Structure 1
Amino acid sequence: MSTENYTTSADANKVALLGVVQGITELLPISSTAHMRVVPAMLGWRDPGSAFSAAMQLAALAAVISYFWRDVRRLVLGSVSAIGRRQFADPDLRLVIWIALATVPIVLAGALLSSSLNTCDSPLRALPVIGWACIAMAVLMALAEILARHRRSIEDASLVDALLVGLAQVGALIPGVSRSGSTLTAALGLGFKREEAARFSFLLGIPAIALAGSKELWELHKAHLDIHGWSVLALGLVVASVSAFAAIWALMRVLERFSAWPFVLYRGTLGVSLLVATAYGWLH
């Protein structure tokens, strides 16, 4: 289903609830797409489609920028200053360039797969596919927790690190994988400290989130979404922004004080539950 159809046909309460779901799950490593498929299915609602989720990612963008404002401000101002001084080896400018290069793979993959990703009847959005993706990511995240040393910080990052995390981000196009989950797992596997891995994941994801959300807003503009649709979508964005900020705060606290194991267990349980529910016909 398109974003336009969903916002014009659903009432504000539905969109507000989906905004909470999207906001919380977009930035936790548990897959927002999985939950945006499962929650409507459990409530008997139509699948809002990946276009709706992509538009709502602007809420996640606002939350990431506000939470990591010091980092974002330093990178932007430091890069502009470095360019003005022609100091192209500046660490801030170098990291910004790496983030831009690491965004290229998901942009290309997203463009190639957009026709199948944005349809509600896409095979990739089937609940069994999401279930298996959740289980696969749970296994990979568990391996990263067991095998990685968790000693590095962003200051130690290299271009290869950024590109590997950027490639991992492409996996997020598969519903159930999760952009946050794939990049966090990759960063953990590269030996970054848990909180540094999350910080790296979020900063690297800013361009991809901004591009995806902006693209869908432009599509809505071209589709002549009416004032009611825009107002309902705006409500969802506000609710999702608050939820997303709370999700980042919670994720950072869990990673700082514990580990990624709670998310491993949750993802594994969700994946198995989806496979069982679809096998027995409890969810369609």
Structure 2
Amino acid sequence: MTLFEIVVLAIIQGITEFLPISSSAHLLLPAELLGWASQGLAFDVAVHVGSLLAVMIYFRRDILQMASAWLSHGFSREQTVDSRLAWWVILATLPAIAAGFVFEEYIELYARTASVIAITTIGFGLLLWYADAGAKHTQKLDTLTARQALLIGIAQVFALIPGTSRSGITMTAGLMLGLDRESCARFSFLLSIPIILGAGSLATMELLESTAPVDWSALGMGAAFSFVSAYLCIYLFLSWISRIGMFPFVVYRLALGAILLWFIFT
């Protein structure tokens, strides 16, 4: 990859990982539409490491409080708000792990195409609009129940399909269940930590087994640009989402889907 491609792809990963517009779709688009070479497994790991570090550093206090509460109260009858939230993150992660093992190969073979991305971008964009427009926006994250967490986790399974957006579908589910926008976003971001960590670990194992040469400078730049863009994205999104709502992202998804369809059929 050229330096320009490294910077663009890393920034795309950092921004789209946490916005409800699908990171996998945007990372596939340059290859589909511009003819760029695939970024490869090593670069994919690097940019996801950058995104993971960004979300973990941003939520470092929440993570420490949840971990401490889970270790001290997680297996007792007297649960705290933080220990329950830690359990709900674990519970909501399980469906995606199970589905990933079952459907990963099928999705890799048949779903990573521009046509699938176009359909899911538009379809799940409209679903996000419906959820946001009809939501009550009243429930806070500290009142989340096990049932709600599991339903959000089941919804997260659809993110295995490129173009769906992991953050988008989990926020959609949260809104439908009555959570306010900021609570939906925060839970979605916390859910991203085990998902990115798990996917990154599997990719790293594949990378270690590979004999292909590694461009460490490209990986370092990719991780750095992904980290900075992801951190800024999380900060700005949480600052603005209660005011602007999901409609701007819905419009973007519809426009992107329309452009993709135009490229496919012309």
What's the TM-score once normalised by structure 1's chain length?
0.87
In structure 2, the partner of 1:71 is 62
User: C-alpha deviations, 1:124-146, integer Å up to 9, x for none?
Assistant: 11101100101111111111112
In structure 2, list runs of 5 or more residues that go unmatched: none
Report the aligned-residue RMSD.
Answer: 2.0
In structure 2, the partner of 1:244 is 230
Residue 52 of structure 1: how far off its partner (Å): 5.2
What is the distance in 1 between the residues matched to 2:37 and 2:255? 24
Do residues 135 (structure 1) and 130 (structure 2) align?
A: no
- Partners of 2:46 and 2:220 within 8 A in 1: no
Do residues 101 (structure 1) and 74 (structure 2) align?
A: no
- Partners of 1:58 and 1:214 within 8 A in 2: no
In structure 1, the partner of 2:38 is 47
Residue 38 of structure 1: how far off its partner (Å): 1.4
Residue 245 of structure 1: how far off its partner (Å): 0.8
How do 1:45-194 residues align onto structure 2 when only pairs under 5 Å count?
A: 45-48=36-39, 53=44, 56-82=47-73, 86=76, 89-118=79-108, 122-194=109-181
Do residues 30 (structure 1) and 21 (structure 2) align?
A: yes
DSSP 3-state at the match of 1:18:
helix
Do residues 18 (structure 1) and 5 (structure 2) align?
A: no
- Partners of 1:33 and 1:50 within 8 A in 2: no
User: C-alpha deviations, 1:39-80, integer Å up to 9, x for none?
Assistant: 233332123468854653222211111122221121112222
In structure 2, the partner of 1:5 is none
What is the distance in 2 between the residues matched to 1:168 and 1:67? 25
Residue 276 of structure 1: how far off its partner (Å): 1.3
- Partners of 1:55 and 1:212 within 8 A in 2: no
- Partners of 2:70 and 2:87 within 8 A in 1: no
In structure 1, list runs of 5 or more residues that go unmatched: 1-9
In structure 2, the partner of 1:3 is none
Residue 184 of structure 1: how far off its partner (Å): 0.9
- Partners of 2:41 and 2:203 within 8 A in 1: no
- Partners of 1:15 and 1:232 within 8 A in 2: yes
What is the distance in 2 between the residues matched to 1:14 and 1:26? 18
What is the distance in 2 between the residues matched to 1:52 and 1:110? 21
What is the distance in 1 between the residues matched to 2:244 and 2:178? 16
What is the distance in 1 between the residues matched to 2:41 and 2:131? 28
- Partners of 1:33 and 1:53 within 8 A in 2: no
What is the distance in 2 between the residues matched to 1:49 and 1:31? 19
- Partners of 2:46 and 2:222 within 8 A in 1: no
What is the distance in 2 between the residues matched to 1:272 and 1:88? 52
Do residues 265 (structure 1) and 251 (structure 2) align?
A: yes
Residues 88/169 of structure 1: CA separation in 2 closer, same or farther (3 Å cut): same
What is the distance in 1 between the residues matched to 2:7 and 2:166? 22
Residue 116 of structure 1: how far off its partner (Å): 3.7
How do 1:196-215 residues align onto structure 2 when only pairs under 5 Å count?
A: 196-215=183-202
User: C-alpha deviations, 1:61-120, integer Å up to 9, x for none?
Assistant: 111111222211211122223259x455233222212211211111111112232444xx
What's the TM-score once normalised by structure 2's chain length?
0.92
What is the distance in 2 between the residues matched to 1:134 and 1:197? 20
Deviates more, 1:157-166 or 1:245-254: 245-254
User: Percent of pairs identical after alignment?
Assistant: 39
